[in-house]
Amino acid sequence: MHRLDLDNRALSMDRAHDEEEDLARMLLAGAWYQVMARNPYGFTYTQLYLTALEDPGGFTLDRLLQLPNQDMVDDVVHQLYLATTGPLEALRARTRPQDCTGGPTFPGVNITADADLVVDGLLLDFKSTKHPFARGLSKQTANQLIGYLLLDTADRYRIDTLGLYLTRSGVLACWPVEEYLSLLGTCRRDLPTLRTVVAELLAGCQADAIPQGQEEEGQARELLERLAPVIEAGHCPVCAQPLPASARRPRMYCSRWCTGRASTLRKRQNLAPGRPAATVPRLNQRCGSKTTLAALHRP
C-alpha cells in the first residue's frame, strides 16, 4: 500500500493492471480476516480457513494471495477502475489526504462502531452489493448513516453531509444533514440535542440488551418517557414540524405522507390518538438498537 503511494494526489488513482490485481488479492484476503474478527463461525467456511487447516506449515503469504480465483480478482479490479472515472475521483481531486479519516470511530459512547470514511465533513459509507437499491434505501442502511452521525457526540468530524458510494455502479448519493433528518421524519432537528439524547439513551439503556424483569423494563420505559420529544400545538404529530397555514380549516398533519403514516404509527402505539404529542414505543423489542431509534424519530 505504501509502495503504491495511494495518498499522492499528483498521481492517478489507478495503477498498472498487475499492481491492481495484487492489491485486489490483498483486499480479498483482508476481507476474509475481517470475517474472522466479526463472525468466527462464518470464518470456518472461508477458503482462507480451509486452506490453512489443510496445511498449516505450508500456509505462506504467497499461498494466501493465490487463494482468490480470477473472477473474484477481476470483480474487485473492475470496481477500482470504475472509481477512477466517477464522482469518487472528483472527491479525491478536491481534497487532501489530511482531510480524510478512514474507519472513523466514536470514543466516549457505550457502543462499538466504525464508519467507512469521513472526508471534509462528508460521512461516506461504501456499499458493494449487486442491487443496493432494488427496493429503495433500506431502513437498516438509513439508520446506519444516522447512527454514525449521532454517535459523533463531540462533533469531532464536523459532519455536515451523509452519503453512500455504490462501488459496482459508481454512484455517489449525498444528503445534507438537515435534509436527511427531514427525510427520516426526525422529531428533533437540533443536532446537538439529538446527540445528547442518544448518549443518555446508551448510558441508561445498554444497546442490544433485552430488559430482564419488570424492574429493568420499568427503568427503560421511564428513561424513554423522559427523553421522548414533546410535540407542541400547531406542529405535525408525526414529524413535529410546524403545520403550514390553511385558509380553510386547521391542518392536523403537514403533508400527505404524514397523514398516511399516522395510522400506522397509531397501530404500533407510537402515536397517541387525538392529541399531538409524542408517545413512547412499546418495549417489545430490544431495549437498545430498535427502541432507541424509535424514541428519536419514527422510522
Q: What angle do CA 239, 243, 246 make, to 5 degrees?
A: 150
Q: How far apart are CA 234 and CA 282, in angstroms?
A: 26
Question: Residue type at 162?
Answer: L
pLDDT of residue 274: 44
Give CA angle at 293 (290, 297), nearest 5°: 135
Give yes or no for a contact between 28 and 68, defined as CB atoms under 8 angstroms apart.
yes
What are the tens digits of pLDDT across the range 36-86? 988 889 999 999 999 999 999 999 999 999 999 999 999 999 999 999 988
Average pLDDT over residues 269-275: 56
pLDDT of residue 269: 67
Q: How confident is the model at residue 286 (pLDDT cuts 50, 70, 90)?
A: very low
DSSP 153: T
User: How sure is the predictor about 291, in pLDDT bands with cuts at 50, 70 and 90?
Assistant: very low
Q: In what side-by-side order are the strands of the sheet with 117-119?
A: 100-102, 117-119, 122-127, 161-166, 171-176
- Per-residue pLDDT for 282 more than 50? no
Query: Residue 272's pLDDT is what?
Result: 54
Out of 55-59, 107-111, 224-228, 291-295, least confident range = 291-295
Rounded average pLDDT over 183-194:
83
User: Quick one: pLDDT at residue 30?
Assistant: 93
Classify burial at 168, counting beta carbons within 10 Å of its beta carbon; exposed 0-12, middle 13-18, buried 19 or more.
Answer: middle
Type and span of the H or E element at 101: strand 100-102
C-alpha cell at 60: 505462506
Q: 200 is written with which cell numbers?
A: 443518555
What pLDDT shows up at residue 257? 81
At residue 146, does pLDDT exceed 60?
Answer: yes
Q: Can you tell me the distance from the alpha carbon of 232 to that of 242, in angstroms, rounded to the nearest whole number?
A: 9
